[in-house]
Amino acid sequence: MKKTVSFSKNSTNLFFHILTRCNLTCRHCYINIEQHGSNTLPIRTIESWLRVFAEGTRAANVIFLGGEPTLHPELPAAIQKARHIGFNSITIDTNGYLFNDILSKVGPDDVDYFNFSLDGATKNLNDAIRGPGSYDRCVEGIRKAVSMGFATSLIYTVSNDNIHELPDMVPVIAGLGIERFFIQVIGIRGKSAGDRPEKLQVLRSDWIRIIPGVAQKVAELGITATYPKVFLNHDEPFECAGRVAQNYFIFPNGRVYRCPLCEDFPLHSLVMKKNRPVKTGGINESHLFELSIPEGCVINKIVQPENLSYDSDGIPKYKIACCMLKEEISGRR
């Protein structure tokens, strides 16, 4: 069963970067130290920020990220704080190294999902993108988590570097025991926004030709597959999550963004002051959310216009969807 996953207007979703340090140097890492900071948040600050964003909602979800969040020695305490506060779901995004013996310090009832990342069906490609030895460590981490009863997901970030190996992920996934598979599209931010001669963004024709078919095959394994909508036809409505949903991308230096495409720039709409989110002055991302253009996402048009294509009259051939809009195919055995 395929469906478009709309933005949740009745829940709050925190993408909480509790540090920016990582043991890997992935070629497409979106962390920007100048914009996001290099500090590691103390547990008291983590708890305070969790509480303030959980206020006034009965449905709050948190994803702990980094850098590599398991490098934070107090991640188990942060998980327990989030559970005590009453978060609906708690997810850990990890590269699979699972530092600080994290699996022995929390249980399957404490964490809803561990999300692991691979960016190649083979060691050679994955390790070229993410770092030597990362493929084996990630697979080992998945198998260990599954054997201990944790629910697990796998994330594959698609670019022109690795889209050719995405179909080969289907047999890899079949033997891992994961419950969900997320296909993500490369964002031109962080390292990907650097001066690289090769084009990382995937053509619309390649995306449509490859992504839905792979997702369908994964779903046939009994694993739910999710991928970004990315491209909209002219008759499909555009909706911006920054206007209708409560998503917050929080960084250790206190910046809070509502749109991940803005994270390379000082366009954050909120900043943490005295452990409270305060609106920023001047022009920020929230002003861009209000604009309407034929191309769909205004921020995509500004920061990664290579996603777009125009006809001879200068009319866009399609629209770019909000990056938070997903297609989901439920796993069916």
Q: What is the pLDDT of residues 227-241, one digit of tens each?
A: 999 999 999 999 999
From 253, 270, 303, select the one nearest 20 (Cα to Cα): 253
Domain contains 312: no
Question: Which residues have C-beta within 8 Å of that of residue 12, sequence separation ≥ 6?
Answer: 53, 54, 57, 59, 60, 61, 246, 248
Is the pLDDT reported for residue 3 higher than 60?
A: no
Q: What is the pLDDT of residue 198?
A: 63
Is the pLDDT reported for residue 4 higher than 70?
A: no
Mean pLDDT score across all residues of the chain: 93
Is the pLDDT reported for residue 6 higher than 80?
A: no
Domain contains 299: no
Domain contains 307: no
Domain contains 162: yes
Secondary structure in 3-state letters for the chain: CEEEECCCCCCEEEEEECCCCCCCCCCCCCCCHHHHCCCCCCHHHHHHHHHHHHCCCCCEEEEEECCCHHHCCCHHHHHHHHHHHCCCEEEEEECCCCHHHHHHHCCCCCCCEEEEECCCCCHHHHHHHHCCCHHHHHHHHHHHHHHCCCCEEEEEEECCCCHHHHHHHHHHHHCCCCCEEEEEECCCCHHHHCCCCCCCCCCHHHHHHHHHHHHHHHHCCCCEEEEECCEECCCCCCCCHHHHCEEEEECCCCEEECCHHHCCCCCCCEEEECCEEEECCCCCHHHHHCCCECCECHHHHHHCHHHCCECCCCCECCEECCCCCEEEECCCC
Number of domains in the chain: 1
Please give the model's pTM, rounded to 2 decimal places.
0.94
Confidence of residue 187 (pLDDT cuts 50, 70, 90): confident
The residue segments making up the domain with residue 170 are 2-294+322-329
Domain contains 228: yes
Domain contains 146: yes
Domain contains 52: yes
Q: What is the pLDDT of residue 242?
A: 92
Is the pLDDT reported for residue 332 higher than 90?
A: no
* CATH number (domain holding residue 289): 3.20.20.70
Range in 2-6, 58-62, 222-226, 249-253 with the lowest mean pLDDT: 2-6
Question: How confident is the model over 96-121, as a mean pLDDT?
Answer: 97
Domain contains 302: no
Tokens of residue 97, six digits: 């190294």
Secondary structure in 3-state letters for 168-213: HHHHHHHCCCCCEEEEEECCCCHHHHCCCCCCCCCCHHHHHHHHHH
Range in 63-77, 133-147, 191-205, 288-302 with the lowest mean pLDDT: 191-205
Q: What is the pLDDT of residue 261?
A: 95
Q: How many CB atoms lie within 10 A of CB 309?
A: 13
